[in-house]
Amino acid sequence: MPPRVSNNINHDAFMLDGFKQYNGDTELAMAKDPYTRLVEAVTSAIAEKVGEDKQKIFYLIGKPPREELGDLSFPAVRYEKRGAATVDELIQAITDKLEEEGIDYAEVSRAGAYINIKILAERAIKHVANMLKEYQRLELPKTENPQRLVVEHTSANPIHPMHMGHARNATIGDTLSRLLRARGHLVNTRFYVDDVGKQVAVAAYGVRILGIDPLEEAEKRGIKPDEFIGWIYAVTHTLVDVKMLKKEIEESGDKSLRDKLDDLLLVLKDLEEKGPREYFDRLLEHIGRVEDPEKEISELMVRYERGEEPEKGLVRRVAETALVGIQATLDRMNVSFDAWDWESDLVWSSRVGRLIEEAKKSKYFTWYKGAEAIDIPRFVKEVLSRDPDLRKYFKLPRGFEIPPLILRRSDGTTLYTTRDMAYTIYKFEAWSADKVYNVIGADQRLAQLQLRLALAAIGYVREAVNLVHYDYELVTLPGKKLSSRRGRIITLDNILEELKATAWIEVKKRNPDKPDKWINDTAEKIAIGAIRFKMIQTSAPKPIVFSVEKALDLSENSGPYLQYTYARASSILRKHGPVNYEAIRPGSCNDPDRRRLLIEALRFPLTAAKAADDLAPEQLAVYLLRLADMFNSWYQKDTVIREPDPGARECKALLVELVRNVIGSGLDLLGIPVLERM
């Protein structure tokens, strides 16, 4: 898969637009990083000499094929052939720029038609020491052109607890937001409460039958609120399905449906054992004697969309109850939102109605299957087929046909996509957004494409072009067949508890004298790190098969492995004490393994910035694992505490501090708690 590239954030220039002169108050955080300063200076020197765009020059800078050649390499041959500048002239331009910028820790050389640049570790280490002494942390380079961005993510239906699919959505959305904020963009995160539609109406129907306040009842019984609503929803939905299926069998005489009925009855038996027996019996008795429960659910749904009482208060209370539990899980996962938007508010505020009226004035308004609709096929034929620039934004394959988008059913209720159109416009308006990212599963690709095309067809071209569907594939659990409609769901809380219980045993074994509260808190942070890292480590277009054992693997490729690396570095520094920067013997840092670790750690700011601009947090995950591997391998054979040479010991301690700094900053960007001890 190619990297994900945002339309308006130039991934080619992921560091260039953030550079400022290294002087006093105008200095940006990224100017504190010697590696980034070097890359910027080399890029500027070449661009100025050959009259080329900085972004293009930067993209050509890479790593030499062999480590002994240097740390940066540029193919000068293409510009020499054009007559723009000779290799020697470019080397001189780079040398002059480095001197001008006060960069004394790089050496420029020629290898045929290539220019190679090597970082002099014994000099660079002095700059690193000054940086850590003054600023403590390496920061991402900030963009000079910050955008106002909306990231809408998670948006779990308020009818049951969050599951592992939501875990991936929430982790991706939150991590993207962290990266983009660190890059200097103004990011607004939003949760869309999908409370209009049949699913929430089914849950509310069950609560109405029971005649209870669901939140008060959940708290009284010690049940997590979202789990309580999920049980009511599953029981109600299954009872209604059983009743309607029995009716169909009686009317049609189709005996082949009996196997399906038997399966549903087994589901009911399981649900009966999971919740309050008296509530199960009450739902069973009521739905059993109602002539047409689906009609009652439909009427409840219609009245809620109209904002009529008592349905308005009822459905809101049901959704709010579920959200209490959902938010508790999100808090546990270290995920927060700037705004919670209710779908019903959009409907009641007449935004959806106004959108439909605007659509009716469009030349692409039509009637489709007896309902009001947008004629997307006609729009594609008349507009996109004639405008290749616009077509590329929608990534619409030639010959791929998309059906018209129905706006409103014959009973007056609107469709989810119609309401989402109004919500899209609202998100752009509410945050004055330049771009909106919808983190939604890959199964919604057609719906999201329909949404964007329909917006463009009725005149919202800017919004359609700058709305990005950041899709991701499913998360599966080995050997598990799940269905929230039937109450067969392994919740995110279930997985967190399983991870935590396993981590608790290991932490207790390693720290037998620690109090239980510390062990519990540590195990909780390890569980969070395990899930969040696994959800990010795999690129979004690839499915995930989640394994508790692999997610907790302390030896490699996991969030806990990075937490362990951070804790190990912290332990070394506790034993060593504060680094004596003045006592460092710079020449000792020329040792090949130490030098290699130094350069790799200094690549962090640009790597994280590129992950932000490519909208690819997995790039940062891969980098952190590589750095952790390098650090752990180095420390095994080059001890810090027992180093007899004081100057070399301080150099090594500085490397430990730098790696700890980078791992800590990286974990923070991934939303993973750091652990001083483990």
What is the DSSP secondary-structure string of 221-284? HT--HHHHHHHHHHHHHHHHHHHHHHHHHHHH--GGGHHHHHHHHHHHHHHHHHS-HHHHHHHH
Tokens 């062999």, residue located: 66
* 227: Cα within 13 Å, side-chain hemisphere: 18
Of the candidates 673, 674, 677, 678, the residue with the CA atom closest to the CA atom of residue 334: 673
Q: Cα separation of 575 and 572, whole Å?
A: 5
Q: 475-505, pLDDT tens digit by residue? A: 988 765 555 566 567 899 999 999 999 999 9
- Helix, strand or coil for residue 111? strand
Tokens 């409840």, residue located: 300
For strands 467-472 and 475-476, give the pairing.
unpaired
Contact 630, 596 (CB under 8 A): yes
Q: Which of 209-213, 350-354, 480-484 has the highest mean pLDDT?
A: 209-213
Q: What is the sign of the dihedral through the CA atoms of 197, 324, 527 and 626? A: positive
Q: Which of 295-299, 481-485, 502-506, 576-580 has the lowest mean pLDDT?
A: 481-485
Cβ-in-10-Å burial (0-12, 13-18, 19+) of 112 comes to exposed
Q: How many CB atoms lie within 10 A of CB 497?
A: 13
- Mean pLDDT value of segment 555-569: 93
Q: 586-641, pLDDT tens digit by residue? A: 999 999 999 999 999 999 999 999 999 999 999 999 999 999 999 999 999 999 99
pLDDT score of 19 more than 80:
no
Q: Cα separation of 561 and 231, whole Å?
A: 37
Q: Which helix (H) or strand (E) holds 475?
A: strand 475-476
Contact 352, 346 (CB under 8 A): yes
Instruction: Assign 3 a pLDDT band (cuts: 50, 70, 90).
Output: very low
Phi, psi of 71 (to 5 degrees): -115, -20
Q: What is the sign of the dihedral through the CA atoms of 15, 21, 22 and 25? A: negative
Across-strand partners of 471?
A: 440
Q: How high is the pLDDT of residue 31? A: 45
Q: Cα separation of 302 and 296, whole Å?
A: 10
Q: What are 90's two structure tokens?
A: 């470019």
89 compared with 13, residue with greater pLDDT: 89
Q: How high is the pLDDT of residue 12? A: 32
- DSSP annotation of 51 reads T
Q: Cα separation of 10 and 183, whole Å?
A: 12
Phi, psi of 572 (to 5 degrees): -60, -45
Residue 92 vs residues 87, 424, 556, 671: alpha-carbon distances, Å? 9, 52, 44, 44
Q: How many CB atoms lie within 10 A of CB 107?
A: 14
617 compared with 403, residue with greater pLDDT: 617
User: What percent of the chain has a predicted confidence (pLDDT) above 90?
Assistant: 79
Rg (alpha carbons) of the chain, rounded to whole number: 29
Q: How high is the pLDDT of residue 396? A: 79
Q: Give, rounded to a whole angstrom, the gap between the first and last alpha carbons of the chain.
A: 36
Question: Domains of the chain (ranges plus CATH)?
Answer: 11-135 (3.30.1360), 148-195+344-476 (3.40.50.620), 198-322 (no CATH), 492-669 (1.10.730.10)
pLDDT score of 379 more than 90:
yes
Q: Cα separation of 224 and 234, whole Å?
A: 16
pLDDT score of 30 more than 60:
no
Q: Is 117 left (phi over 0), alpha (psi -120 to 50) or beta?
A: beta
Own/partner long-range contacts of 217-226 (Cβ < 8 Å, ≥24 apart)? 218/321, 221/276, 224/161, 224/325, 224/328, 224/493, 225/321, 225/322, 225/324, 225/325, 226/158, 226/160, 226/161, 226/162, 226/321, 226/322, 226/323, 226/324, 226/325, 226/326, 226/329
Exposure string of 175-200, with b = 16+ CB inside 10 Å and e = fewer, is: bbbbbbbbbbbebbbbbbbbbbbebb
Tokens 């005149």, residue located: 459
pLDDT score of 359 more than 70:
yes
Residue 205 vs residues 74, 237, 483, 566: alpha-carbon distances, Å? 67, 10, 20, 51
* 382: Cα within 13 Å, side-chain hemisphere: 10
**Mean model confidence pLDDT for the chain:** 91
